[in-house]
Structure 1
């Protein structure tokens, strides 16, 4: 049943079109419309207003400059300055279709949906206002002030705080200066979790540089108690920064202390140095690397030429950096070294020092060993190069992984 009231009514019996003006009020079981002027076609059972209208149903209020109503289908089309107000959010759109029975809105053109804790924007999509679920397309993004999710297509369920984005996905954390890109993402508001896959890349922005990391899957976890995040990279993780590169099967990054944790066959490169271990931790001050901690089967190598390598081996190691440059290496347990002595300003090897000592401190200058301090009862031998066979110039388990080292951010996709 549809009822219409107004101050003045004009009706054409031939066309069956009625024009009503002056405090117009239209009601059906789902809604109430108020406007100054309304045109109603009794033949088509349609109504429209051209000078602004206001519609109220059980939960929503909608205003627009122009509106067209199909009574048989319970559908409205709105155009120009469309505003839909719900207790939980406000939607603004250029063009909107709204079904009064299903309470589903379809929007065409630039549209924003602003809630207390989140904001959504797109140029095409739909919103089920009754069940609080939506699909956003074309330049879609969803943000909760600190983190945003964008993609060609974004699905969102406000009830459970679940979002999904497909194609050209960007997950941005403005507080911690990180963003993750890929082609598929899922976000869980209540758990503080996000996943990105399909060509996933994490970018950590520093003041003078950026770190780029790729893996099969990237995961972001928000810790409310510390207002920080843990970023996890699973399977074939590889990263590039101008002064530091690395790879391992899995990598974790904690924004609270700017520490990178590397697991399962990790390798890192800094200038001329390569470091490997069972597990590696990279600590920074948020801008430059301060120290690298190697745990179990630690091995550090730097190349003088294709036949000569300075090598340091031990149970655990700590590499200390100054302004991003390796300056000192401490070895704790089962220490072994091979050190090539050269003329100053030359790479010609004059002697080779092989030593065994439980704990060792190695001082680095210009990316080469400058001097070595043996802490306790060293066993060292100095060899002329001709007296040390080539096969004895390498410590056990020596592996030089130059072919795996990324030379640019494009190389992080090659495993």
Structure 2
């Protein structure tokens, strides 16, 4: 106690000069803060308008009171000391009381009580009755109903009802524990602000940030800087938004990112519900699967992490980059659904509808709708499907492509199958039949079977690639064997030699099959062209099939759409 008296006297002198207008210095004789607040506190903002105290600080009780001859302005009080300022009561073991400036410095078991809701504890307190600022130091604890704030240095401003720490602190309520280097808390509004190495720990997640606002009443965290929210199931990155720590609902902005089991959902605006597992992204949405190396983009995206259900719409594009050269697929809506989640029989279906168009440098295609199922690794194209590969074109009423480890195993064209190979601007090899099956090895076609009402227009070549003529044949079944992407032999059942016309004697109209069309005007030209839907001309439509209606998987999602 006696070692503090010279310091007290010095401070009294400074305060006296300041009051007389001769010197302007800080009013608090407590150790300097290690880190300044990142922004002005309510106290700092309103310092020039701070109202003067209407009442003085009263000493209500002490077991012993004495004067010090060297410091006549100080009263040394010890034993069960009690002060009052307005409705605030303060207790300690001993204190230096400055009656003239309505202030005191308290030591040992310091306690400050404001009403029946705010309690402040510490080892040492300097209270300025003129500014109504309490500076509590060492083992500080502030309690406000269910909220507790722990720190070693806390300033509490009674005028603005605001407490702030600057040397590290921890705040706890029923739901969360928050730590940071600097922070402030308002017992009245329950609003708090934290800066520098902020960490919010909840039983279900952990939030880290450099700046965070948090309300202990609503339990809502206001994200105002780069922040990460980690849980067992997912990770959220955001720089702006709000997160309800009770309901788990988040409204996030400025390109926030939701990551779950290798999948990322990004958007200008992102809504997420931790309990239901539902995430929605608006504007410039990107949904990335880093495991399977594909993504969905669009202006709106939806993802349920618990059911594995996702879809994208409004300029929706599916991008597959697992094969090196990316494939871009567009449709009105892109959807993925997971069945029997987290079981041994789990499988997924990816659907695209309507007006499907896709582009890759080596393959392009169009269809009304498309389905890929992991049960049989089959991709099915419905309603006027067409596929192009370099100078080749395949089409029919329905096309099925069976995959094996991301490479094509075999394909099946069903109904009015037509294969066209463009030789030059006027010559085309053509094969048509009721159905067509092609088999692949290492991604290269090795065999093709054409079944039912087979007709062929074919231009054989000699060894120097000179055209020999044009062969026209008909049969019931045709088998084509290929090696190094070139036809090795053709087998017809029953055998048919057909007619071979010399190149100069081809009859008019014989060089085209009845259902021949080269759909170059529909073919996607590049990845930007997938958004430009171009349907078949009326005269190029397939004949109506006499087969029964095609039943699509989950047909409710593929309701007939009127042709525009």
- The TM-score with structure 2 as length reference comes to 0.69
2:530 counterpart SS class: helix
**Aligned pair partner of 1:305 in 400, 424, 428:** 424
Query: Which region of structure 1 is more displaced relative to structure 2, 182-191 or 15-24?
Result: 182-191
The within-5 A match list for 1:322-337 is 322-337=441-456
**Aligned pair partner of 1:252 in 366, 371, 374:** 371
The answer for the alignment partner of 2:59 in structure 1 is none
Query: Which region of structure 1 is more displaced relative to structure 2, 221-230 or 300-309?
Result: 221-230
Change (3 A) 1:131 1:104: same
The separation in 1 between residues aligned to 2:137 and 2:314, in whole angstroms, is 58
Query: Which region of structure 1 is more displaced relative to structure 2, 105-114 or 357-366?
Result: 357-366
1:114 equivalenced with 2:224 (yes/no): no
**Aligned pair partner of 1:294 in 403, 409, 413:** 413
Change (3 A) 1:409 1:181: same
The separation in 1 between residues aligned to 2:155 and 2:504, in whole angstroms, is 104
Instruction: Provide structure 2 residue ranges, at least 5 long, that are not aligned to the other structure.
Output: 1-116, 534-564
**Aligned pair partner of 2:384 in 265, 279, 303:** 265
1:10-69, CA deviations, whole angstroms, 9 ceiling, x for partnerless residues? Answer: 111111111111211111123111111110111111111111111111111111111111
CA contact (8 A) 1:302 1:368 kept: no
The answer for the alignment partner of 2:543 in structure 1 is none
**Aligned pair partner of 2:160 in 44, 51, 55:** 44
C-alpha displacement of 1:366:
7.5
The answer for the alignment partner of 1:35 in structure 2 is 151
**Aligned pair partner of 2:335 in 191, 208, 219:** 219
- The structure whose RCO (Cα within 8 Å, separation 6+) is larger is 1
The answer for the alignment partner of 1:358 in structure 2 is 476
1:73 counterpart SS class: coil
2:512 counterpart SS class: coil
The within-5 A match list for 1:189-200 is 189-200=305-316
**Aligned pair partner of 1:399 in 495, 506, 517:** 517
CA contact (8 A) 2:385 2:395 kept: yes
Change (3 A) 1:69 1:4: same
Change (3 A) 1:206 1:361: same
Change (3 A) 1:286 1:253: same
The separation in 1 between residues aligned to 2:410 and 2:391, in whole angstroms, is 16
The separation in 2 between residues aligned to 1:338 and 1:326, in whole angstroms, is 20
Change (3 A) 1:273 1:168: same
The answer for the alignment partner of 2:247 in structure 1 is 131
The separation in 1 between residues aligned to 2:294 and 2:386, in whole angstroms, is 23
Query: Which region of structure 1 is more displaced relative to structure 2, 252-261 or 394-403?
Result: 252-261
The separation in 2 between residues aligned to 1:6 and 1:183, in whole angstroms, is 55
The separation in 2 between residues aligned to 1:248 and 1:178, in whole angstroms, is 21
1:66-88, CA deviations, whole angstroms, 9 ceiling, x for partnerless residues? Answer: 11112221100111111111110
| Structure whose alpha-carbon radius of gyration is higher | 2
Change (3 A) 1:199 1:209: same
The separation in 2 between residues aligned to 1:202 and 1:259, in whole angstroms, is 17
CA contact (8 A) 1:167 1:182 kept: yes
**Aligned pair partner of 1:382 in 496, 500, 505:** 500
1:149 equivalenced with 2:268 (yes/no): no
The separation in 2 between residues aligned to 1:291 and 1:206, in whole angstroms, is 19
The separation in 1 between residues aligned to 2:464 and 2:458, in whole angstroms, is 16
The separation in 1 between residues aligned to 2:374 and 2:255, in whole angstroms, is 29
C-alpha displacement of 1:394:
1.7
CA contact (8 A) 2:292 2:322 kept: no
Q: How many residues align?
A: 414
The within-5 A match list for 1:42-121 is 42-121=158-237
The separation in 1 between residues aligned to 2:169 and 2:450, in whole angstroms, is 78
Change (3 A) 1:173 1:155: same
C-alpha displacement of 1:375:
1.7
The answer for the alignment partner of 2:298 in structure 1 is 182
1:182-202, CA deviations, whole angstroms, 9 ceiling, x for partnerless residues? Answer: 221011223211111222221
1:17 equivalenced with 2:133 (yes/no): yes
CA contact (8 A) 2:294 2:322 kept: no
1:404 counterpart SS class: coil
The separation in 1 between residues aligned to 2:261 and 2:460, in whole angstroms, is 57
1:245-280, CA deviations, whole angstroms, 9 ceiling, x for partnerless residues? Answer: 211111223456654221111000123210001111
The separation in 2 between residues aligned to 1:258 and 1:205, in whole angstroms, is 18
C-alpha displacement of 1:101:
0.9
Change (3 A) 1:405 1:323: farther
**Aligned pair partner of 2:281 in 162, 165, 168:** 165
1:392 counterpart SS class: coil
The separation in 1 between residues aligned to 2:446 and 2:357, in whole angstroms, is 24
Q: Which has the higher strand share?
A: 1
C-alpha displacement of 1:323:
4.6
